[in-house]
A and B are shown apart, each in its own frame.
Chain A
């Protein structure tokens, strides 16, 4: 592995972090065996229900400069549960939202990480049990997962 400026900067930050959280476990940087794929995450949410395209509004820029913090707004009128998936991330599932009786809309805003250019998926469970699905293509200049 060639050592780039980014590695050096990340590494020096990591040293400081290790000091705070205690010694890191001796592990290779391999694919996390616990990480599930985007398909698995989607299937887990859908649970065999009928899926139709559209019905969720993903407010996300088409071009993102900095994948470390990306503002994302989701709106799924009438939904009871929302899920956001970034298939291009090392850990694709991002966020599950359950709306309770005190909630006034099905709108939620947060900030996520994006590792690379990809097609983000938003799923919404409707009260009748069906699932709505919307995708959004996003170009990422600097990935935020390393």
Chain B
């Protein structure tokens, strides 16, 4: 597991049914590209988050496949729309096999 990985999500607590709202997510991660070399001229192995998946009550909202071209501390913003209260679940998949997850409850108001 990479050191100091922290997830941050921004989701409204309450929305109106059918309203479009935006979700922002961020995970702290060094996103080592595998292209850099160290002082000895040796390549630093690739270590990135390669997939991000967001679901609402089990249904996919967005599913992203990421390459090393995504900048350090991957950030995403996207839109969602719901008709019932429920839980957004966010999952990040690391090259080293670690899986990081976070969740947010949203109610209809």
Interface residues of A (CB under 8 A from B): 10-12, 14-15, 17-18, 20-21, 24-29, 32, 68-70, 86, 89-105, 107-113, 144-146
Contact = CB atoms under 8 A, between A and B. Distances in A.
Contacts of A98: 60, 62-64
A50 B41 CA distance: 45
B77 A100 contact: no
11 contacts: A14-B38, A20-B3, A24-B43, A25-B42, A28-B43, A93-B67, A95-B70, A105-B20, A111-B70, A112-B69, A113-B68
Interface residues of B, number: 45
**What does DSSP make chain A's interface, helix, strand, loop or mixed?**
mixed
Given A10-B36, A102-B80, A103-B79, 12 more contacts: A11-B39, A15-B38, A17-B44, A91-B69, A93-B69, A98-B63, A102-B61, A103-B61, A105-B78, A112-B71, A113-B33, A145-B35
B42 to A, nearest CB: 4
